[in-house]
Chain A
Amino acid sequence: GQNIDQPTEMTATEGAIVQINCTYQTSGFNGLFWYQQHAGEAPTFLSYNVLDGLEEKGRFSSFLSRSKGYSYLLLKELQMKDSASYLCAVRGFSGGYNKLIFGAGTRLAVHP
């Protein structure tokens, strides 16, 4: 089957670093995405990994290990505006087409 697991909630302090983990099981893996979603708003794209390793983009980095079915999103120098849900999504081949399977999201609260 296809499944994505990520923690439901995390808290962190402004200025700190936080790592949000995601484990997945899927058939026909074709990439892993991280999206940020503020309450009541649309998800916005953060990162895409298709090969093993670390992708860095400013304060955000994402890591992928395909053999372990594991990814993490690393947020550095946390700001209050980083309080949001972070969605892990895996693109896999199922039912005859490529589709995104989303995890339930990790709600991050950044406090002063």
Chain B
Amino acid sequence: DGGITQSPKYLFRKEGQNVTLSCEQNLNHDAMYWYRQDPGQGLRLIYYSQIVNDFQKGDIAEGYSVSREKKESFPLTVTSAQKNPTAFYLCASSTGTGPEQYFGPGTRLTVT
């Protein structure tokens, strides 16, 4: 089945540690995105990539980093510089030309 996978579903880390969230898609989509969702707020764009080896900052990129070495994969690293990292993180992909984005199941990160 084609789709987007994110792992793990739940992640716990101590403050001051970097952590990497996985996102893989087998939809052959060119564009991939990372969003953050907090209670009572809309999804906010962290980073996006329209093509392999290229990515751009979204609205809230500070304290995050990404890579896009393969079309299928777009991992997100939450660094210790991110002041409030506890959130629900969603990865999405799209064809790049079509309007719709498809979302992965999400990773809930808790930092204590």
Contacts and interface: CB of A to CB of B under 8 A. Distances in A.
Contacts of A105: 42
Contacts, number: 51
**Taking chain A's interface residues, is the majority helix, strand, or loop, or is none over half, making it mixed?**
strand
A100 B101 contact: yes
Interface of A: 4, 8, 30-31, 33, 35, 40-45, 48, 50, 87, 89, 91, 97, 99-105
Interface residues of B, number: 22
Interface of B: 35, 40-45, 48, 50, 56, 58, 88, 90, 99-106, 108
Given A40-B88, A100-B101, 15 more contacts: A4-B42, A41-B106, A42-B106, A43-B103, A44-B103, A45-B100, A45-B101, A48-B99, A99-B48, A99-B58, A102-B42, A102-B43, A102-B44, A103-B42, A104-B41
List of 5 A-B pairs having minimum Cβ-Cβ separation, nearest first = A102-B42, A42-B103, A102-B43, A104-B42, A42-B105
Contacts of A40: 88, 106, 108
Contacts of A89: 42-43
